Amino acid sequence: MSIVNQSEPPRLPSKTKAELDRISNLPRHLVEQILLHLPIRDLVRTSVLSRTWRYKWATTPYLVFDKQCLNVSSQDQTLIKNKLVNIIDHVLLLHKGPIHKFKLSHRDLLGITDIDRWILYISRSSIKEFILEIWKGQQYMPPSCLFNCQNLIHLELFNCLLKPPLTFKGFKNLRSLDLQHITIIQDVFENLISSCPLLERLTLMNFTGVTHLNIDARNLQFFDVGGNFDDVSFQNTPHLALVSIGLYVNINNDENNAQDSSSKLLRFFVNLPQIQRLEVQNYFLKYLAIGNVPSRLPNPCVDLNYLSICVDFDDLGENTAALCLLRSCPNLQELEMLVMHVLIPDFGGRLGTIEV
C-alpha cells in the first residue's frame, strides 16, 4: 500500500520551451508590426528576449533616430553628440536588408560630417523615405549621393542648403517634398519641382534664394508655402486641390499698382481649376489685391468648399479682393476670416488697435 504525503503539493506538468517563449511563436507579420512601432532604443533591446529575437531588430526597414533613441541626463553637448553617433554607427553596422525609411531628428545634433557617410550608406539601399532635421548650427549641405536615391517617395529636409549636382535629373518617384528653413537658388528650385513628375505634395517654409514661386507640377494636389517672396504662379497644375499660402512681409500696393495694372488675383486662379480648399494667410491677400481686381472671377471656383482669409478691413484693396473671392465661390461651405487690424474701444472709451 502506497502512502501519499499530504504536505507536498501536486506536481504540475512542466512547460515546454515553446510555451515559455510565446512571443517567439507569434505570426511573422505580427512580429514585424511590433518592431515597426518601437523606438530604436527599445528595438535594439529586443535582442535580449531570446536567442530567436537576437537579430530580429536588425532587419527592420524603418530606422528613426530622434529624441527617444537617446536617454542622457548630461548637458554636455559633446557627450550627447558622441553617444548619438555611436548609436547610429552601431545600428547601421549590424543592420541587414533594405532600409525604406531613415529619419534623423535630434535637438542636439549639428550638421556634422558623420551625416555624409550615413547618407552614403543608405543611398546604396532602396531608401523610400528620408527625413533630416538639423535643429542647431549652420545649414547642412547634403552630399551629392542623396540626389541619386531614385526610389525616394518622401523627402523632408530642415535647415539645409541644397546644391544638387549638375547631373541631377530629378526624383522620378517622389510624391511628397517638405523643405523648411532651406537655402536654394531660383533655377535649382524650379528644376527640382518640374523634374519630379509624380509630385503630389509640396511644403515650403522659411526659405531663402527663391523670390518667384513658379510651380510646374502636373500631379500636384497639395501646396503649403510660407515665407518672403515677390511672386507666385502655377503652370500645368490641373489637379491642385489644397492650397495654403502665407506671405510674411508686408507690401506696398501703391507702388505695385503703379508698376503693373494686371490682376494678380486673375493670374493666381487661372491654373487652379479644381481647387477645393484655400487658405490665404498673413499678407498674401494684399498681394492678390495688386492690379485691377474684378468684381468676380471669370471662371468661378465651383469646387471650392473651404476658404480661410486673413484680411485687414482698413485696406480697401484687400476688402475688394476678399469680396471677389466670396462672389466667385458658389458652393462654399465653410468660411474662416482672420482679422489683421481691428479698432476696438478700450476701458476708457478710446479706440485702440489689436492684431490677431
pLDDT string in tens for the chain (356-residue length): 455 555 555 555 555 444 545 665 566 566 555 665 565 655 555 554 555 555 566 778 888 888 776 766 667 777 878 888 888 898 888 878 889 999 998 877 776 789 999 999 999 988 999 999 998 889 999 999 999 999 999 999 999 999 999 999 999 999 999 999 999 999 999 999 999 999 999 999 999 999 999 999 999 999 999 999 999 999 999 999 999 999 999 887 655 554 556 899 999 999 999 999 999 999 999 999 999 999 999 999 999 999 999 999 999 999 999 999 999 999 999 999 998 764 445 544 443 433 43
- The pLDDT of residue 350: 43
Question: Which segments of 135-228 are extended strands (E)?
Answer: 154-158, 176-183, 201-208, 212-216, 222-227
**CA distances, 109 to each of 70, 83, 133, 178 (Å):** 12, 11, 9, 20
Q: Are 60 and 35 in contact (CB under 8 A)?
A: yes
Q: Model-level pTM? A: 0.82
Q: How many CB atoms lie within 10 A of CB 214?
A: 15
- The pLDDT of residue 260: 59
- The pLDDT of residue 200: 98
Type of residue at 155: L
- The pLDDT of residue 27: 60
Q: How many CB atoms lie within 10 A of CB 113?
A: 8
- The pLDDT of residue 46: 55
> Phi/psi zone of residue 209: left (φ > 0), alpha (ψ -120 to 50 degrees), beta?
left
